[in-house]
Amino acid sequence: MKKHLLEQSIILYSVSKWLIISTLIGIVIGAIVTLFVNLLQIAEDSRSLLIIPYYYTLPFALMLTIYLVKTFAPNAKGHGTEKVIEAVHKNNGKIDIAVMPVKLIATILTIFAGGSVGKEGPGAQIGAGAASFIADLFKFSNENRKTLVICGISAGFATVFGTPISGAIFGVEVLIVGIIMYNVLLPSFIAGFAAFTTARFLGMDYTYFNMRFSQSIDLEITLILKVVLAGIFFGLISDFFITFLKRTERGIKKIKLNVYLKAFIAGLIIIILTEIFGQSYLGLGLDTINNSFFSDKSLSEEIPWYAFILKTIFTALTLGAGGSGGVLTPIFFVGATSGNFFASIWGSDFAFFSAIGFVSVLAGAANAPIAAIIMAVELFGLEIAPYAAISCVISFLVTGHRSVFPSQILKMKKSEFLNVQMGEDINHTSIDISNENKRRFIELQRKILSRTKSKRNYKLKDKKEIQEFKKEEKKDKK
């Protein structure tokens, strides 16, 4: 009995400890990230002061961003969340404090000039940097520092998007594919909610889309089949997005030119593409995302079917050339616009499939299906949950063993026929198929084909019998 009471007392102490610590961390990060978002909004609003189109400054902004990052904080390079995941797995969550101001300035520069990136990655990295600094200041252990940094990811994400529950889950789920770290769930939830509440108190305004799908779309088998097909489609879109970003970055690295010259040329290419296709693919692209959620297409601007391809190109060039910013907002753009394209194939349900795409491409590209499903509920309402769950999980599986965050640790395989090396980051994981699994897969294919052929033959026999019966009937009548 004494042992049981002692166990409960220790657990209560631990819960109380993390309630207090994660609340304070969430308040601090909520305030810092709110400042970052407000500064970003001021920068975007100040574009009108320029005497030239704002995106003409992009080549110079990319060059300045590279200089700032290389000179003051090399770990501020890229889209933010990836570096935090790497720090958690390889450096006990320790993040250089210089990352915070450099990431903030570099991201504002990139987005101000029209770079196709998001604000959530820097928000997460700034939050994680603040958490790491506080952990060092109060001499926390390595394990506790890692927990605080994960809280920083959750709090940053929750502050930027106004989704405290999915923000908390994302901070935990994004670290390891196939495992949720339950020991950090409570601190992440508390930090995310505290950060969100702080942001709201400081005047942050969020957009939620109450579409009430259940009133406009009936629950029917054909819709469920469409959602299954959509999940496969969004998984392929996720794979395309990941692959294009990775190959563009490698391609730019291989070009034997000065890094600043490469950034300048990439900026010029984006300017040329903007002059041809318009400004919709620059910056955050929130207006296009919002337009995709109109069921009546006459109420919104026309979204071209290739919008998701162009956004992928703009994002790959911006990040590959050294721009600073997140990758999740471009993922949302790609998901919403590819969902719009998928709906145009069926000629209906534009808002529905745009919303499904919004979260499904996140599930596939970031390997975060649970966070994506919860985000669907937080942003679009409870009615979408069963459809989002089906599509998100299928997209997550179809994308395969790859991610926009290559430092994620892989702890599961997405098919029984594959041999996957567990415990390594995605970037260094070997995936192959054994001779035994090849044989099993080929046998399965043969069985499916043989059944299909037998059904076809059976149908042919039926047709012949009907034809013979009709002939006999004609003879009898004569």
Would you kindly state where each structural domain of the chain is located, as residue ranges?
10-201, 213-400, 434-478
Please report the pLDDT score of residue 180 as a whole number: 83
The confidence score (pLDDT) of residue 372 equals 94
* pTM for this predicted structure: 0.87
Please tell me what DSSP assigns to residue 118: B
213-400 fold: Clc chloride channel (1.10.3080)
User: 10-201: which CATH topology?
Assistant: Clc chloride channel (1.10.3080)
What are the helix (H) ranges across 255-346?
Answer: 259-277, 286-291, 307-320, 328-346
The answer to whether 80 and 125 are in contact (CB under 8 A) is: yes
Q: What does the pLDDT profile of the chain (478 residues) look like in tens digits?
A: 677 788 788 888 888 888 999 999 999 999 999 999 899 889 988 988 889 999 999 999 999 999 998 888 887 776 777 888 888 888 888 888 888 888 889 999 999 999 999 888 888 888 888 899 898 888 888 888 988 999 988 898 889 888 888 888 888 888 888 888 888 889 999 999 999 999 999 888 876 665 555 445 556 788 889 999 999 999 999 999 999 999 999 999 999 889 999 999 999 999 999 999 999 999 888 888 888 887 665 555 678 889 999 999 999 999 999 888 889 999 999 999 999 999 988 877 888 899 999 999 999 999 999 999 999 988 888 888 889 999 999 999 999 888 998 888 888 888 777 777 777 777 777 776 766 666 666 776 676 666 655 555 555 455 555 555 455 555 555 5
CA distance 187 to 191: 6
SS3 425: strand
**pLDDT, position 457:** 53
Instruction: Give the contacts of 158 (CB within 8 A, at least 6 positions apart).
Output: 30, 164, 167, 168, 191, 192, 193, 195, 196
Equal fold, 10-201 vs 213-400: yes
What is the reported pLDDT for 208? 64
Q: Cα angle at 241 between 96 and 398, to 5 degrees?
A: 110
What is the token pair recorded at 34? 């709110």
Spell out the residues 6+ positions from residue 322 whose beta carbon is closer than 8 angstroms to its own: 62, 65, 66, 69, 77, 259, 262, 263
CA 64/CA 269 separation, integer angstroms: 17
